[in-house]
Amino acid sequence: MYDTIVVGAGSAGCVLAARLSENSRVKVLLLEAGKSDGKQEIRIPAAFSKLFHSEYDWNFYTEPEPATANRPRYWPRGKVIGGSSSLNAMIYVRGHRSDYDVWRQAGNAGWGYDDVLPLFRRSEGFCGTGADADYHGSGGPLPVADQRSPNALTQAFIVAGESLGLKRIGDVNGATQDGIALTHVNQKNGRRWSAADAFLRPAMRRANLTVVTESLVHGVTFEGRRATGVTYAREGKIVAAPAREVVLCAGTIGSPQILMLSGVGPSAALSALGIAVTADIPGVGQNLQDHIAGGATYQCRQPVSLASAESLANLARYLVFGRGPLTSNVGEAVAFIRTREGLVAPDLELIFAAAYFMEHGAANPPGHGFTVGAVLLRPESRGWLTLRSRDPAAAPVIRPNYLSALADLAALIAGVRTVRRLVAAEPFAPYRGDEVWPGAHLLDDAALGDFIREKCESLYHPVGTCKMGADPMAVVDERLRVRGLEGLRVADASIMPTIVGGHTHAAAVMIGEKAADMIAADTK
């Protein structure tokens, strides 16, 4: 009998398992569907897109939708120890103060910015520059570092932004988010440092923590309305694991999928698949939100981009010194901007990549180029997901409803226009070649809108499908307990009522920290 079973070794699950097992009297089982994280490309920052469509990726696709040219969108998600923190771009951006205050104002006591800031600080081992000590911690396990070898194109982006009036700031996680900055990254000595590296691996030496990989959870078991454990498949066998409490950390896709397979979700949808209903919770799988990106891509007239990062000389420089272009996280700089007056926080993030990054890197032309992504931070569009079948190995039906709200498209069009002004600035003159995407011939809003509908892509931040709150569509309460059930919680990005205006890894780590505190307090 385990005290706690944690399902999913991603950003939140690694933190939760590590923190709970600090108490030697608590017996913890961590189950991960993916493999171990020993592959070399996981450690090399610039190689992250090589992990897409690999055995370390769930390789999800959305359904075709009319608002986005009826083209399925690829959603990479980590199927590996460390979860998506083992194949993301390592950008450490928490979001805006108001993001968390909105959660608190929606009835989630203890989740405002001032409440969660100490948890961000506790997790951090900040070793970068330009930060305000009031907003960062230096003694935590998760390194937050400066980039080792920023590209010359990235410096041009920063200076070009300043020429347009953007304020250069040292820290987008400090007192203000508005401005332009080099990104801080989750790296140590130029190498990726995932949630598994930071939290889980040191904890795996403990006798009271068991980690089992390649184990696909089939469902939560119940006695009445109390969770009693899980069943999972490993090496062709079904294993039952009992526990006093189960915490789903399987992510925005996995956690609602497991709930529905267990009979927890919208009763009509479950009954249609022949699944016995344990708890009719209509919000499971609803409230799906994601950051979607447009932007522009350009040829580069000088051979300075990341196109030659994989040369033998650069590989040697990386392996020996932990420096050079292979340490690049690709998205080396960001700018947070507001496209209209009256906004509480920036609504767009511009991400600069000193490389072509077209269709997640799969459609890059040969040669040197650079990309400026325009990312919609606070979409009005809402989507949903549901089971495709009763098979736990079958990917669910994912409908993000991208651009179903016209305001979302308008913001992205404004973003493309801002990117064009920025790249037209003098600092880019030595590098600027032809505009590859959208193409300089596309000028009016209608043409740009059609391009965005066709080419927009996920920035890999789906959230919200097990919403925290007190309203009828909430799935968990402010202590992350699944409503109407006992012994079952969800602790990952799926609990976010609204998406944060940042990158979700940092917030997921915080959620793992907070869940650990809550579980420890509730079991004393």
- Predicted confidence band at 362 (pLDDT cuts at 50, 70, 90)? confident
Q: Are 116 and 99 in contact (CB under 8 A)?
A: no
Q: Which tens digit of pLDDT belongs to each residue from 461-516? A: 999 999 999 999 999 999 999 999 999 999 999 999 999 999 999 999 999 999 99
Q: Which tens digit of pLDDT belongs to each residue from 235-257? A: 999 999 999 999 999 999 999 99
pLDDT of residue 294: 95
Over its C-alpha atoms, the chain yields an Rg (Å, rounded) of 22
Catalytic option among 96, 184, 368, 461: 461
Q: Give which of 524, 519, 521 is closest to 246, Cα–Cα.
A: 519
Q: Which tens digit of pLDDT belongs to each residue from 260-309? A: 999 999 999 999 999 999 999 999 999 999 999 999 999 999 999 999 88
- Can you name the residues that pair with 264 across neighbouring β-strands? 279
Q: Which long-range contacts (CB under 8 A, 24 or more apart) does 309-312 make?
A: 309/46
pLDDT of residue 131: 82
Q: Where are the domains of the chain?
A: 1-51+75-131+190-288+385-395+462-524, 148-182+292-376+403-455
SS3 content of the chain, % helix, strand, coil (to 5): 30, 25, 45
Query: Judging by beta carbons within 10 Å of its beta carbon (0-12, 13-18, 19+), is residue 206 exposed, middle or buried?
Result: middle
> Per mean pLDDT, which range of 280-294, 307-321, 334-348, 402-416 is the poorest?
307-321
pLDDT of residue 304: 94
Q: Strand locations in 47-190, DSSP E?
A: 60-61, 74-75, 124-126, 142-144, 179-182, 187-188
Protein fold of 1-51+75-131+190-288+385-395+462-524 = FAD/NAD(P)-binding domain (3.50.50)
SS3 at position 350: strand
Q: Which amino acid is at 487?
A: G
Question: Which tokens belong to 516?
Answer: 């650990």
The answer, yes or no, to whether the previous bond of 438 is cis (omega within 30 of 0) is yes
Question: Which tokens belong to 335?
Answer: 């700018």
Give the rounded distance of the alpha carbon of 216 from its chain centre. 21
Task: Please count the other Cβ atoms lying within 10 Å of the Cβ belonging to residue 68.
Answer: 23
Which position has the token pair 């511009």?
350
- Can you name the residues that pair with 126 across neighbouring β-strands? 144
Annotation says 461 is catalytic: yes
pLDDT of residue 128: 87
Q: Which amino acid is at 29?
A: L
CATH 3.30.410.40 fits domain 148-182+292-376+403-455: yes
Q: Give which of 465, 343, 350, 344 is closest to 401, Cα–Cα.
A: 465
The mean predicted confidence, pLDDT, of the chain is 96
pLDDT of residue 459: 96
Q: Which tens digit of pLDDT belongs to each residue from 23-75? A: 999 999 999 999 999 999 999 999 999 999 999 999 999 999 999 999 999 99
Residue 130, pLDDT > 90, answer: no
pLDDT of residue 310: 87
pLDDT of residue 358: 87
- Can you name the residues that pair with 372 across neighbouring β-strands? 296, 352
Q: Give which of 459, 451, 460, 463 is closest to 68, Cα–Cα.
A: 451
Residue 319, pLDDT > 80, answer: yes
Residue 524, pLDDT > 80, answer: no
- Can you name the residues that pair with 191 across neighbouring β-strands? 188
Q: Are 388 and 395 in contact (CB under 8 A)?
A: yes
Which position has the token pair 């996981």?
42
User: Whole-angstrom Cα distance, residue 242 to residue 171?
Assistant: 45
pTM higher than 0.95 for the full model?
Answer: yes
Q: Which long-range contacts (CB under 8 A, 24 or more apart) does 222-228 make?
A: 222/262, 222/263, 222/278, 222/485, 225/278, 225/279, 225/484, 225/485, 225/486, 226/485, 226/486, 226/487, 227/485, 227/486, 227/487, 227/488, 228/487
Give the rounded distance of the alpha carbon of 235 from its chain centre. 30
Percent of the chain with pLDDT over 70: 100
pLDDT of residue 271: 97
β-strand pairing of 488-490 with 237-248? parallel
Task: Please count the other Cβ atoms lying within 10 Å of the Cβ belonging to residue 273.
Answer: 13
> Per mean pLDDT, which range of 178-182, 332-336, 355-359, 366-370 is the poorest?
355-359
Q: Are 413 and 449 in contact (CB under 8 A)?
A: yes
Residue 363, pLDDT > 90, answer: no
- How far CA 257 is from CA of 46, 77, 269, 286, 474, in Å, comes to 32, 14, 12, 11, 16
Length of the chain in residues, anyone?
A: 524
Which position has the token pair 């396990």?
141
User: Whole-angstrom Cα distance, residue 479 to residue 119?
Assistant: 15
Q: Which tens digit of pLDDT belongs to each residue from 209-239? A: 999 999 999 999 999 999 999 999 999 999 9
Q: Are 156 and 315 in contact (CB under 8 A)?
A: no
Q: Which tens digit of pLDDT belongs to each residue from 435-470? A: 999 999 999 999 999 999 999 999 999 999 999 999
